[in-house]
Homo-oligomer: A and B are copies of this chain.
Amino acid sequence: MTAKLPIGILGATGIVGQRFVQMLEHHPWFEVAWLAASDRSEGRLYAEAARWKLKTSIPSRVAEMRVSPATPDGAPKVIFAALDASIAAEMEPRFAAAGCAVVTNSSALRMQGDVPLVIPEVNHDHIKLIECQSWRKKSGGFVVTNPNCSAIGLVIALAPLQHAFGLDTVMAVTMQAVSGAGYPGVASLDILGNVIPYIAKEEEKMEEETRKLLGKLNGSGIIMGSFGMSAQCNRVSRRERSRKRLFKPGTSSAACRKN
C-alpha cells in the first residue's frame, strides 16, 4: 500500500482554500501536510485562523494543524494554491522557482504564454507547455492553472460542438451565485432582491480563457481560438452552485436549479 503524497495548501484559510481542505479530506492519493495563508494566520491553529463557511464540518485532523509561514522552505513539493490574484502573481512563481509543482485556482498566471490553462476532459494535452517554463528547466518546478468557474462550464459544453461543427460565434450569459465572490464578498444590500448585471473582470476572463482553452498547442505556446466571443456576466441572489437537481420538463411551474 503506497503512502499518500504529502501536499500543501497555499491560501488555506479563504473560501477556496477551505474547499481544497474539504475535497482532499479522504483523497486516495493526497494527504494535506502543510497549510499556509497570510502573516495574520501564521502560527495559529487552522480552526481558529479560518472562518469556516462550508456546510460540512471542518476535518478534525486539519483543524488541529498550525498554519505555516507562506514560504517554500519546508513546504511539500506539490502545492494547491488558492490565493487572491494580486498575491498569487508574486507568490506562485516563488514556489515554482523553488521546485514546487503549483496547481492553482488563481487567475494571476492563467494567460501567461507558457502556463497551461487546463480542463482535463477538454485540453489535457496543453499540459506539455510545462516543459517550456523557465522554472521547470532550473528547479523542476512549474505552474498549472484551472480556469474561471463559468468558463469551465461553458467550455465543457462547447468542446464537442467545436469538434463536430467548428465554432463561429459564442454569446454567453451567466447567472452567478454569491459564493463565487468569496467572503465577505457581495454585500447583502447589493444583492437582496436584486440582480447585478456586471461582475468586474469576469467577462474578460470568460472571453480570453475560452479562446485559450479551445486553442491549439503549438510548440511553445497556444494559438488562441479565433471564433467570435462575447460574454455578459450577472450576479444573482443565490448562495452557491447546487449539486443534485431535478428537472421535470413540461410542467407549468418547473423548478430547476441551475448548476
Q: Mark A182-202, 1 if CB is under 8 A from B, else 0.
A: 011111111111111110100
B55 A244 Cβ-Cβ under 8 A: yes
Contact size range, A: 35 or more
**Cross-chain contact of A237 among B186, B236, B254 (Cβ < 8 A):** B236
**Could you tell me the distance in whole angstroms from the C-beta of A17 to the nearest C-beta in chain B?**
15
Inter-subunit contact B178/A189 (CB<8 Å): yes
1/0 per position for A247-259, CB-CB distance to B under 8 A? 0110111111110
User: Quick check: is A239 within 8 A (CB to CB) of the other chain?
Assistant: yes
A171 proximal to B (CB < 8 A):
yes
A148 within 8 A of B: no
Chain B residues closer than 8 Å to A56, beta-carbon distance = 244
* Contact of A179 with B by CB under 8 A: yes
Chain B residues with CB below 8 A from A157, complex form: none
Question: A137 on the interface (CB 8 Å rule)?
Answer: no
Our pick among B51, B239, B244 for the contact of A57 (Cβ within 8 Å) is B244
Within the assembled complex, what's the spacing in Å between the Cα atoms of A177 and B114? 45
For this chain, the copies found in one complex come to: 4
A258 near B187 with CB under 8 A, answer no
Asked whether, in the complex, the Cβ of A178 is within 8 Å of the Cβ of B188, the reply is: yes
With both chains docked as a complex, state the minimum distance between the C-beta of A40 and any C-beta of chain B, in angstroms. Answer: 15
Tell me the residues in window 222-259 of chain A with beta carbons closer than 8 Å to chain B beta carbons: 234, 236-239, 244, 246, 248-249, 251-258
CB atoms of B198 and A256 under 8 A apart? yes
Residues of B within 8 A of A57 (CB): 244, 246
B253 pairs with A186, CB closer than 8 A: yes
Asked if B189 and A187 make an inter-chain contact with CB atoms under 8 angstroms apart, the answer reads no
A30 at the interface (CB under 8 A from B): no
**Residue contact B188 to A185, C-beta cutoff 8 Å:** yes
User: Is A52 close to B, CB under 8 A?
Assistant: yes
How many angstroms between the C-alpha atoms of A192 and B242 in the bound complex?
13
User: Is the beta-carbon distance between B192 and A193 smaller than 8 angstroms?
Assistant: yes
Query: Quick one: CB contact mask for A54-67 with B, threshold 8 Å, 1 for yes?
Result: 01110000000000
Binding site for B on A (CB under 8 A): 51-53, 55-57, 171, 173, 175, 178-179, 181, 183-198, 200, 234, 236-239, 244, 246, 248-249, 251-258
Q: A51-B251, A175-B195, A195-B257 given. 5 additional CB < 8 A pairs?
A: A51-B248, A186-B188, A192-B192, A194-B255, A198-B256
